[in-house]
Structure 1
Amino acid sequence: MFDEIGPMGTAFTRLAWAAVFLLLWARPRLRGREPGDLRVAATLGAMSAAMTIFYFLAVDRIPLGVASSLEFLGPLGVAIFGLRRRRLDLLWPALAAVGVLALARPWEGSADLVGLLFGALSGACLGGYVVFTQKVGDRFAGVDGLALSLTVAALCAAPFGLPQAVGHFSITVVVGAAAAALLLPVLPYVLELVALRRLTTAAMGTLMSFEPGIAAVVGLVLLSQSMTLLQCFGLLCVVLASLGAVRRGSRPELAPEPLGAPAGVESARS
Structure 2
Amino acid sequence: MCFGLYTLFADRVGKTGTGLDGLALSVTVAALATSPVSISHAPHMSAAQWGIIAASAVLGVAIPYTMDTLSGRITSARVVGTLFSIDPAMSVIIAALILRQTITAVAVIGVIVVSLAGALLV
TM-score under structure 2 normalisation?
0.72
Whichever residue aligns with residue 23 of structure 2, its letter is L
Residue by residue over 1:162-205, the C-alpha shift from the partner in whole angstroms, topping out at 9 and shown as x without a partner, is: 44x34431110111211121111111111111111122213311
> Are 2:87 and 1:219 aligned?
no
Partner Cα distance (1:144, 1:167) in 2: 30
Q: CA deviation at 1:129?
A: 2.1
Secondary structure, aligned partner of 1:226: coil
Shift of 1:228: 6.5
Unaligned runs of 5+ in 1: 1-73, 75-123, 250-270
Match of 1:181 among 54, 57, 76: 57
How many Å apart are 1:160 and its aligned residue? 3.5
Matched, 1:203 2:90: no
Larger radius of gyration: 1
Greater helix fraction, Structure 1 or Structure 2: 2
Equivalent in 20, 26, 30 of residue 149 of structure 1: 26
Structure 1 residue corresponding to 2:13, chosen from 127, 133, 136:
136
**Letter paired with 2:34:** A
Q: Percent identity?
A: 32
Distance change in 2, residues 1:151/1:198 (3 Å) = same
* Secondary structure at the counterpart of residue 208 of structure 1: helix
Residue 217 of structure 1, CA deviation: 2.9
Given that 2:7 and 2:81 are in contact with CA atoms closer than 8 Å, whether structure 1 keeps it comes out as yes
Structure 2 portions without partners, runs of 5+: none
Which amino acid counterpart does residue 176 of structure 1 have in structure 2? I
SS in 2 for 1:197: helix
SS in 2 for 1:174: helix
Report the TM-score when normalising by structure 1. 0.36
CA root-mean-square deviation: 2.7
Whole-Å Cα distance in 1 between the matches of residues 22 and 11 of structure 2? 11
Number of aligned pairs? 111
Distance across 1 between alignment mates of 2:65 and 2:25: 13
Deviation at 1:127, TM superposition (A): 2.4
2:14 and 2:71 in contact (8 A); partners too? no
Q: How does 1:1-270 map to 2 (within 5 A)?
A: 74=1, 124=2, 126-163=3-40, 165-220=41-96, 221-222=98-99, 224-227=100-103, 231=108
